[in-house]
Amino acid sequence: MAYWNQKVECASREELDKIASQNLANTVRRVYENVPFYRNKMDEMGIKPEDIKSVKDLHRLPFTLKQDLRDNYPYGLFACPLDDVVRIHASSGTTCKQPVVGYTQEDIDLWAEVVARAIVAAGGTKQDFIHVSYGYGLFTGGLGLHYGAEKVGASVIPVATGNTKRQIQIMVDFGSSILCCTPSYALYLAESLREAGIDPSTLKLKSGIFGAEPWSENMRLEIEKSLGINAYDIYGLSEIIGPGVSFECECKNGMHVNEDHFIPEVVDPETGEVLPDGEMGELVFTCVTKRALPLIRYRTRDIASLTRETCKCGRTLVRMSRPCGRTDDMLIIRGVNVFPSQIESVLLEMGQTAPHYLIIVDRVDNLDRMQVLIEMSDSLFSDEIRKIEEVEANIRKNIESTLGISAEVKLVEPKTIERSEGKAKRVIDKRKI
Ligand code: DLL
C-alpha cells in the first residue's frame, strides 16, 4: 500500500474531525474579517465567527452559489490582498464571466499536495513518466496534474490537448507510464492507437487518472481493456481548487475526499437540508485551508453520496460516489429525470456499438422527443441491414426499460460523431422551455 501522506490519509475519524474543526474556525474568522459578502451574510443570519467551533456547526453557515461568484466577478470573494495572488484560473465553459479563481503560493502548494495523494494512490512514483493531456491554460486540469506530478518527483510530460498523432508518438518514444486526460479522450486515444496499428501492450502505459467529466463503471472497463491499464477517477472543480478535491485508490470504490482541506456535505438540492451518509444529494464543499478563495459551503450542483465506512486501502478519508449527474444538467424528458450517464451505461453494457453517442432532445408538437445517435462498430457497420435494425431495436428496448421513457435510436456510421479532446459534448437540448 502506498500513500503520499499516510499520517493524514489514514488518521482516525477523531483526528480528522479535529483538524477540520480547527481549520474551519480559522477560515470562518478570516472570511468574516476579509470578505464583505460573507460578513454581510453572517450578520444577516446573526452568526458570529466564534459561534463556529467545530464541523458540527458547519450547517449553520450560509451557502455560496455559483451566482455569488458571478455577482462578485472577478475578485470580490477573495480573502487575501491581490498582491498575494500568484495564479488565476477559471472554470471550463464557453460563457463569459465564468467564475474566476485565485491561488496564493500556499494554495498552489496545497493543490500539489492533494494531487500528489491522487497520483500515488493510482500507483504513481518518482520513476513514472506522467503524460498530461488535460488542457493547460485557464482550465485547472493541466497545471493541476502537472504540479502534483512534480511534487511526487515523477517526470511530467506536459503534452496538453490536441494533435493525437503526436500524443501517440510521444507515448511510444518518451515511455509515458501514466496518462492523465478526460475519460472520453482516453477512449479516443485507444481508438487512434488501434488505427495506427500499435498494440497498447507494447507501450509502457500502466495506469490513467481520468476525470473532469462524468463517466461510468462500464466506461472504465472499456478504457482498461482497450489501453491495457488501470483507470482511476479524480474529481474536482475550479471553485474549490481544481482536480484533487477527491481521488480513487486501488479499491476503485468511491473517491477519497481530501477532507483536511475540503469538508464535504451532501444536501437536499431543494431544501438545502443536510442529508445522512449514503443518501444521494447535492455535494457541498467548504475550503478550510485556502488563502485566496476559501469558499464556504459551495453548492457544486453535482449529485453524489458520501460514506465513512472504512476502505480496504487503509485510508480513512470520507469517500464520495461518482457524481451521477448535476442538478443543472439533468434532463427532464416527458416528466422523467434522465442522466446522460444512464444512457451511456445501457450502451456500454450491451457492448454492440462504439462508445460514442450523442443525445438530441427536442420538442415536437408539444411532446419531448429524445433521439440517441450511436456510432456503429466497424464490424457492425459491415453487417447486413437486418442485423443493424435488430441492434437498434434492442437498444431502444433497453433504454426504455432502464429509463422508463422511449427514445428514437439511430445507428450512424463509424467516426461521424464529433470527437472531443476535452470534455465530450453528449447532449444537444434543442427545446426552448
Ligand atoms: O473539471 C477540474 C478537473 C480537472 C477535475 C481534471 C478532474 C480532472 P471544472 O472545469 O471547474 O473543473 O469543472 C468541474 O466537472 O463540478 C463536475 O460536474 C465535473 N467533474 C469533474 N471531475 C469529475 C469526475 C474540473 N471525476 C465540474 N466525475 C464538476 C464526474 C466530474 N464529473
Per domain, the residue ranges of the chain are 1-326, 331-429
* pLDDT of the residue at 101: 97
CA pair distance 232, 132, nearest whole angstrom: 14
Whole-number Å distance, alpha carbon 111 to ligand 1 midpoint, is: 15
Pocket test for ligand 1, best of 65, 130, 235 (most atoms within 8 A of CB): 235
Homologous superfamily assigned to 331-429:
ANL, C-terminal domain (3.30.300.30)
Is the confidence at residue 217, as pLDDT, over 80?
A: yes
Measured from the Cα of 255, ligand 1's closest atom is: 26
> Ligand 1 within 6 A of 323 CB?
yes
Question: Is ligand 1 within 6 A of the CB of residue 211?
Answer: yes
Average pLDDT, the chain: 93
160 Cα–ligand 1 center, Å: 17
What are 315-370's pLDDT values in tens digits?
999 999 999 877 876 677 876 767 788 888 889 888 888 889 999 999 787 678 99
Task: Indicate the top mutation candidate among 213, 217, 345 to test ligand 1's pocket, ranked by most ligand atoms within 8 A of CB.
Answer: 213
Domain covering 1-326, topology:
Rossmann fold (3.40.50)
CA–centroid distance, residue 372 to ligand 1 (Å): 24
Nearest CA to ligand 1 atom 12: 237
Please check whether the two domains, 1-326 and 331-429, share a CATH topology.
Answer: no
Q: What is the pLDDT of residues 3-44, one digit of tens each?
A: 999 999 999 999 999 999 999 999 999 999 999 999 999 999
Nearest CA to ligand 1 atom 30: 214
95 confidence band (pLDDT: 50, 70, 90)? very low
* pLDDT score at 31: 98
